[in-house]
Amino acid sequence: MKKLSSGLLSLVVLFSLSVAATSVYAQEVGASTVEFPYTGNRTAVWIVAQLHILFAAFILGAPIFVVISEWLGYRKQDPRYDRLAKEVTKVTVILFSMTAVTGGLFIFVLLAAYPQFTTSFINQFYVVFAILYPALFITETILMYAYLYTWDVWKGEKKGRHIVLGVLLNLVCLLILFVINGPTSFMNTPPKAEGVSPQDFIAAATLWDKIANQSWFPLSLHRIDGNVAFGGFITGLIAAYMYMGSKTQEERAYYDWMGFAAIWIAVGGSLLQPFTGLLLAYEMCDYDFSFCPYMMADQLSMFFETQGIMIGLLFLGINYYSWLSVKRIEGADNVRMTILAPIVLIVLLPATMWVMDKFWIPDPMSLAFLLPLVLSPFLFGRFIPKTVSARTVIKIGFIIMLISDAVWLTPAGFVATGTDMPDEMKLPEGWDYLSSMPAKLSAILTLVYVTVVNYVLYNRTIKQGTILWGKIDFAAQFVLIFLAFTSTWIMGLMGAVRSLLKKYFHVYSLVSDLSAESFTPTLSYSVWWITAITVVFIGIVSVAALVALRPSVARVREPEGSPVPIAAK
């Protein structure tokens, strides 16, 4: 209980601090007189905002699968799930306080760097910032501590009650996400109407109008599945550290399993990401088409090139992890798959590119071609006697992934902005299809499909063979670290992209950013900060994991702990 009260106290102090700061700054309306040393004002805001969203993403994403895991443990009577859930919750609670700290810091830095805008923005969303958000946040604090501290009390008969509490916690988390994404998305796509000036429209708009702006829902969707994936990857990182630090084979077996479970969840979320991400981009471009060239062709085009590289590597990493996992399954060599699978893998990319060229997205014809194609191995596979070994299918999958990556990474030209691209830098005619949206989409679809096929195979192998828990190639732990790094880094990159999309405005086309820093920074500069933020974040997570999980290592070694059989399935 001591932790709970000190947590609450620090929250209240932070909140009153920020309110006090609001009123102080509100009096001296005008340009900021504060200049953050070394970083400058914009980058100072950037750093705390990004750190804050990283912690927030974890504490919103983790509870989703914690409850699922707790429920699975209850249903299957497998203590590993319950242990996973509890350990992640312990880390979540520590990171929760980091969320509060960075959140308070965020408001503080914002007020110092952009006093005029911040005060007016808070006024714009007064009910959200003064009532809804604090109330939800305090509710979440109480629920989260209650959830952790009732863990060992509400078990056995009362487990159901504990799970309900977890579900409640998740509902509040989701509500927070939707509420705070209102002001965030508002800055990108403030609601507007034809025939009315934006200023007049906003003055007359209700709070709901402002929250339910065009990019609000897609942003929230993309963040929900992003957060689940992110929570999974970070849990994988924790599992890797704990595996490396394990002293006994039992511990190793458990943390090997934890990494496996975490990546399962992360992959589930990641496979949805391209679709919700495209929906988000689509709504943004629909709101103002000039976002589209700014992102994909002009100032931010190389940011997207970088996103392509990193997501390509992320998918390679995910599949490499499942390859290593399959390798330590006894009997994996006997698993075979219909020959239709590698055939579809090979034709999918060119076929999709052709279909997307003929029938662009909203056209149902594209689905009429592609759905039967991608489903055929699963529907008709059993009727075809010829089969291929799992290893061969996975290796073909890797080649296809590399080709898809190459397509995804082919821009119209390697230039910083496409507005004045010299002809000699452009893809020559006949090849320019490779740089078009349909080609990119085909490439992402293929990456997703290869991953799905690999996971189907992986699942089949698990069913037919015996997993030697704790015997995974040690290299897999480095893959887990790599995945956590990459996904955090991508979040940093895309967060920067979303924020930069506002161009020289605080609120797009409504409130200009009159400071001297409203230009698009270079990719190199951005990447330095994104990397630094990632390192700080992962550093803090690592410390939190060590602090939270060390004692449990000791406890589990006592006889009452639940030893995991090495070859358990």
Residues in 297-316 that interact with another protein by CB under 8 A: 297-299, 302, 305-306, 309, 316
Q: Does 519 bind another protein (CB under 8 A)?
A: yes
Task: Output the smallest distance, CB 290 to ligand HEC, in A.
Answer: 5
Least distance in Å: CB of 210 to ligand HEC? 25
Of residues 245-274, which lie at the interface with ligand HEM (CB under 6 A)? 270, 273-274
In the numeric block, the tokens 């940093």 are attached to: 492
Minimum distance between the CB of residue 360 and ligand HEC, rounded to whole angstroms? 16
Scan for tokens 């699942």, then name that residue: 459
Angle at 62 between CA 56 and CA 67, to 5 degrees: 140
Site for ligand HEM in 439-458 (CB under 6 A): none
Please give the residues from 196 up to 235 whose contact with ligand HEM meets the rule CB under 6 A: 219, 222-223, 226-227, 230
CB contact at 8 A, 421 and 365? no
In the three-class reduction of DSSP (H, G, I as helix; E, B as strand; rest coil), residue 8 is classed as: helix
Which residues ranging from 284 to 323 are in contact with ligand HEM (CB under 6 A)? 311
Is 398:319 a contact under the CB 8 Å cutoff?
yes
Stretch that binds another protein, among 202-210, 212-220, 523-531, 551-559 (CB under 8 A): 523-531
Q: How many residues bind ligand HEC (CB under 6 A)?
A: 2
d(CA 50, CA 110): 13
Minimum CB distance to ligand HEC smaller for 290 or for 459: 290
Told to check if 509 binds ligand HEC by CB under 6 A, we report no
Decide if residue 323 touches another protein (CB under 8 A): yes
Site for another protein in 7-66 (CB under 8 A): 31
State how far the Cα of 479 lies from the Cα of 319, in Å rounded to an integer.
Answer: 10
In which residue are the tokens 């075809």 written?
A: 384
In the block, tokens 């601090």 appear at: 17
| Single-letter amino acid, residue 359 | F
CB of 35 to another protein, least distance (A): 17
Return the number of other C-beta atoms located less than 10 Å from residue 71's C-beta: 18
| Binding-residue pattern over the window 55 to 94 for ligand HEM, x denoting contact by CB under 6 A | --x-------------------------------------
Please enumerate in sequence order all residues whose Cβ is within 8 A of that of 331, keeping only pairs 6 or more positions apart, or say none: 461, 464, 465, 466
126 lies in the binding site for ligand HEC (CB under 6 A): no
Query: Which residue from 131, 155, 289, 414 is in contact with ligand HEC, where contact means CB under 6 A?
Result: 289
Contact present, 41 and 35 (Cβ < 8 Å): yes
Contacts with 528 (C-beta within 8 Å, 6 or more apart), sequence order: none
Of residues 395-424, those binding ligand HEC (CB under 6 A): none
Contact 288, 198 (CB under 8 A): no
Tell me how far apart the alpha carbons of residues 271 and 450 are, in angstroms, rounded to a whole number: 11
- Chain centroid to CA 152: 31
Q: Does 44 bind ligand HEM (CB under 6 A)?
A: no
Instruction: Kindly give the interhelix angle for 340-358 and 390-408, rounded to the nearest 10 degrees.
Output: 20
Stretch that binds ligand HEM, among 245-253, 275-283, 510-518, 539-547 (CB under 6 A): 275-283
Binding site for ligand HEC (CB under 6 A): 289-290
Enumerate binding residues for ligand HEM (CB under 6 A).
Answer: 53, 57, 219, 222-223, 226-227, 230, 270, 273-274, 277-278, 280-281, 311, 490-491, 494-495, 497-498
